[in-house]
Chains A and B, each alone.
Chain A
């Protein structure tokens, strides 16, 4: 292994942990860039590096690109442009030919795994087969959160300590060889000693560990995540990667001793001198170059239309006073519901912002034994909102009870309840209905319960309960200014969070609001509305230049994106006049929801989208309750875009649910300070979502979780295939079927120099842009010229697309197509 990993094993393990998949346990599923460890490199370089070292497939197959080209989904003109910009006009013909006709070839063999492979060659032993099963079982028993009825009996203050205690006090053991046992029970044994036995040459110890851990990246990654973040488990476990590695080395020695007795020695003598070193310098590769050109052509074919569309402003069409205003989450799933709300009430004004509504806090539902974080993952909140007087009760389902697994309990239950199961099964297959096993976004909080929003000088769990007046005002001011809503307040302002419902879905947390750490956004919406209605807050806001009329009221709400249902909170507080308006608006929302469901249904294949909206909506609702539906909704699939700017400047475009929409008015923020806040969140959150989809799509086998159909739940923390598989990380195939792997394009409506200055203020944020992990385009607010961010500067971009078709019969088109649609103007 080259230079970077030589200084001590601890350093090696530290870096190794960085390369492992950083996916939290299922309940905290948060999207992130799958190849985050490579983010310090420019995108394409990083991809080549990742492929050569770890054997990931990092681009679509050549055949796929070519098929897209022949179906005209990659624009020939753009392809030409891409080739010329990278290779020069002289070589255009040559490269076009390469791209279109170069025969398929194998990826290079990955560098990781080369040393460990030698065991087979040297001693004809498949160490994976000998070791993995025992290792996985031990770790899984140790970490188990509640599947096992008989829990890990020893103490849980360290994996090694726990296993040691078991081994010491048992008649039966896992480690059979005398030597391995001695090494294990001797507290002075160091990892170095074990590696000396196994590898026998310092130079290769580090690389050997990579080989070993990347044979089961799932479990190793989980351990590395839990080491850093203990609170991810409700039933706490102390664990560290080094312990796991130590245990694995020991099991390896044990296996070798058992199977080969004295007939084996360290691997060093078998390692060829020309063994390719991990992270060695990679050479130029035409293979990757060809893929890179295709990828850019694919991306720019789409970007180009979007940029052209954004240049065609229709701002003046939307200047009337708003009938109501509604804030939604930035989430791409809100893209279409907003379009329908605006369609059925053309005077309505909608806004997009991160769905925690600038209110980071922990939430503790009544009777909850733990706290739930409801803000973006990187933020550590200082506040706690507690729920009281909740009436939500969770039903029990005996099918999950441990009694069914006992001898006598099972005997009694199977002969009695077994028949009830048959009925239940038949009912749930033919007439799906709510069950205790389902996840519903509406159950996150009781709408009738009370929330401790106002701070009463109370502290709990080291957190401040509720917000002070000052904090509330700050949050509200920040929220309103960042979305550009500082005047022209309508009588009703909706604050609508979102969540999802599903059943039989292990990845349910990934479907909720990402800005609320994979929870439903209901509490945040309700708290935001309540703060907005607070007279004292209003008073202070007025002092700060934001005057909200007394007749204006905020209403919190929740949009369930799976079932397309909404509920509103604290409606009884509405003034009489507002209540009437609210009733009318509710009808608008209802119609919008019906149509939104109808639009979504075109992607479901199994629902007939051509029927009346209301009918289709009923079917969509039913899907969310059906055990056998593996795609209750498409979540973020097809995401490709993040538009930051005034809604009036993109309201005329049909973006096919592919865009994260963040409202922002550059006139309020000439210095770009709110913009900074937005970009700082958007780049890692939307970029993370986008890249996770990208990589899960292009290599669903290694960077995604594969098909979810055979998944088996492990210890409530992860999924694996079958009995003894490694944990699967990334997104299951069923989440990415319809996704096209495009990097996200972020467009900002502001002056290029301000945007440039803004992104440079924070290095970590800048890295996303400068290394091209997300693409950035700035639209000049006045001239509407487009500028692409490239190699540290903005350069003007002339779209190939000249006109954007104005679509007349969108409903019909939507009902009859199932694929990604181009950008249209809504007429």
Chain B
């Protein structure tokens, strides 16, 4: 029971603090910092006390079935918490660093516009952190994981009236979400593997795991690869590394806590958490170790040529995380934990004192300067060195590569649907969808071979809608409607699979309709007010004049993308449980459209509401600043 209370407390306390922080009006600096400081200190005390107690009571992993949100007999959505030594270390390090950063920010942020927003986001992040760390199953972990993504977006775009932070925030959010495809597919596959939403504690049962694995080796590897992708994205490993330095746009302490220490180590966390699952798969271990090794080498070279202090620390940290991946692959779990904590502390402190580097290094140079010798006569080694230098300066094209391999093709596909406009969308969508429904109710008439392909086809239609939404340039409302349309296609596609309760579809689509409707209404209002500045070609910064619309739209967009504030969140998972084990393609389509739908929505939000304000009666920053 005491476990139950304490672990629940570790999630509830940040939640309460976050909610309270929303209620405090702007301008009350002391109230914010007291609230944040009070709750984080209490949390740190609680965690420290509990860990001691837990150690003395034998360090047995604790699993708590906290709250059953949904259950229809076959499927159950359960909030499940789990506590073991991994949880303990992450929980404590997180609480300690957050505790310091909270205190630090109380003064550092003084007089800054957005003081409230900063502390809101920080507490939100902390909540997400704790949820993820104490999660006992994939579903719970995914809730935290999604919240982390949003918190990141908000903190990177903290200076929302400048161009680069907003652009980079969207970029980082996109890469995070690409990684999330891995998690969604892993959840889906593991659901089929275990025929239930497996809790992490069950993975400790070695016999169970090895028995399942021997029967389903392929799916095991598939899950491992998906997890590796998710982990690599979150921890800025190859090929996703380039997002980390670009995330250093917020106030220094927020960069320190997020990208120096806590957030960036979540890939490591995910791998450690799921280690019992893939430890017997040699291929997976080689893959993860290799990923780490490659990243460590590249990041090391890139770090050496960085001329800015924060990006240098970022790449140095990436290299260390690469080594952590290797350590995990080698099975050195305890070492990884030490490495994680040390690296987190070191990088946090390095980032916090990064402005001091000017005074320190210049003084050092003043007293110890030695001119740089230029050697390198031999032409081949010189060529090699120069090439390495240039490649490192170009970050080994990691940034452009991701763009060319992922985002550009998606845009190109989306452009194929350029004939769609807000006016004619329904003309195309309704008849097609009605046809789909018609088919659905008359499944008997469709030959079986065709029936087999129908879910995939509809899934593909939905995917295309999302791609079009993602690449839309002119009509924000069209983009929003396309994302909604996608959800409808997915629902229909899955419905073909098996007959299940309409209620489940209802759960799923109710959120879509409500959130989508709200979003549409907001966009309409904005369009009426700002006719001349309403498209997706550039950033307009309307949040300057319409902060309320911006906030409501953000909430609507989050709900629509299946964020855990709307029933759609459960619906998504529920629907995935109806995708068959052999329908890789449909699962992939759905996962991808789910992910890109989210990106498309954030893109609408960013382009309309964030960035330098289009109006000129107050100061605005240069785009390059």
Contacts and interface: CB of A to CB of B under 8 A. Distances in A.
Interface string B303-315: 1111111111101
B446 interface: no
Contacts of A216: 622, 624
A61 interface: yes
B361 A716 contact: yes
Interface string B542-583: 000000000000000000000000000000000000000000
A503 B390 contact: no
B341 A418 contact: yes
A417 interface: yes
Contacts of A628: 104-108, 253
Contacts of A721: 159, 162, 164-165, 249, 625
Given A169-B383, A437-B353, A414 B346 contact: yes
Contact of A153 (B107, B323, B386, B616): B386
A172 B387 contact: yes
Interface in B251-272: 251-253, 255
Interface string A624-635: 001111110000
A414 B569 CA distance: 39
A709 B248 contact: no
Contact of B394 (A174, A369, A506): A174
B195 interface: no
B352 A235 contact: no
B30 to A, nearest CB: 9
A714 B310 CA distance: 9
Nearest to A139: B307
Interface of A is mostly: loop
Contacts of B624: 128, 132, 215-216, 218, 725-726
B387 A151 contact: no
Interface in A432-457: 436-439
Interface size class of B (residues with CB under 8 A): 35 or more
Contacts of A734: 111
Nearest to A411: B323
Contacts of A700: 619
Interface in B358-411: 358-369, 371-372, 374, 376, 379, 382-387, 389-394
Q: What 10 A-B pairs have minimum CB-CB distances, sorted nearest first?
A: A418-B342, A437-B356, A709-B251, A405-B316, A422-B345, A418-B346, A170-B386, A150-B304, A726-B624, A421-B349
B323 A627 contact: no
18 contacts: A148-B312, A150-B389, A169-B383, A172-B394, A215-B624, A413-B342, A414-B342, A417-B346, A418-B345, A419-B345, A421-B346, A506-B358, A628-B108, A629-B107, A713-B310, A713-B358, A721-B164, A722-B246
A140 interface: yes
A57 interface: yes
Interface stretch (A33-41, A316-324, A393-401): A393-401
A582 to B, nearest CB: 32
A106 interface: yes
Give the most central of B164, B306, B311: most A CB within 10 Å. B306
Contacts of A630: 107-108, 110
B365 A725 contact: no
A105 B392 contact: no
A707 B341 contact: no
Contacts of B376: 153
Given A146-B361, A710-B252, A421 B110 contact: no
Contacts of B10: none
B415 interface: no
Nearest to A703: B619
Interface stretch (A265-273, A423-431, A653-661, A747-755): A423-431
B100 A712 contact: no
Nearest to B339: A415
A147 B307 contact: yes
Nearest to B161: A701
A405 B303 contact: yes
A576 interface: no
A670 interface: no
A27 B357 CA distance: 12
Interface of B is mostly: helix
A425 B348 contact: yes
A707 B112 contact: yes
A582 B33 CA distance: 46
Contacts of B141: none
A774 interface: no
Contacts of B106: 628
Interface in B413-445: none
Contact of A234 (B107, B162, B366, B619): B366
B355 A370 contact: no
B319 interface: yes
A149 B112 contact: no
B306 A148 contact: yes
Interface string A118-151: 0000000000100010100110110011111111
B462 interface: no
A554 B376 CA distance: 58
B342 A504 contact: no
Interface in A346-402: 367-370, 394, 397, 399-400
Interface in A708-752: 708-716, 720-726, 728, 734, 737
B107 A235 contact: no
A172 B392 CA distance: 10
A418 B305 contact: no
B369 A235 contact: yes
Nearest to B246: A723
B320 interface: yes
A373 to B, nearest CB: 13
Give the most central of B313, B346, B385: most A CB within 10 Å. B346
Contacts of B361: 145-147, 400, 716
Contacts of B365: 145-146, 234-235, 369, 716
B342 A419 contact: yes
A628 B245 CA distance: 22
A394 B360 CA distance: 9
Given A419-B342, A437-B353, A722 B168 contact: yes
A23 B313 CA distance: 27
Given A422-B96, A503-B356, A706-B625, A368 B366 contact: yes
Contacts of B159: 707, 710, 721
Interface in A599-645: 605-606, 626-631
A404 B387 contact: no
Contacts of B104: 429, 627-628
A577 interface: no
Nearest to B342: A418
B451 interface: no
A702 B300 CA distance: 35
A501 to B, nearest CB: 11
Contacts of B387: 170-172
A104 B617 CA distance: 7
A773 B311 CA distance: 41
B305 A150 contact: yes
A330 interface: no
Nearest to B319: A407
A508 B357 CA distance: 11
A404 B350 contact: yes
A169 B381 CA distance: 10
Nearest to B306: A148
Contacts of B96: 422
A669 B360 CA distance: 46
Contacts of B255: 710
Interface string B155-175: 000110010110010000000
A710 B249 contact: yes
Contacts of A713: 308-310, 354-355, 357-358
A155 interface: yes
B503 interface: no
Interface in A221-246: 234-235
Given A26-B358, A716-B361, A166 B386 contact: yes
Contact of B379 (A169, A711, A737): A169
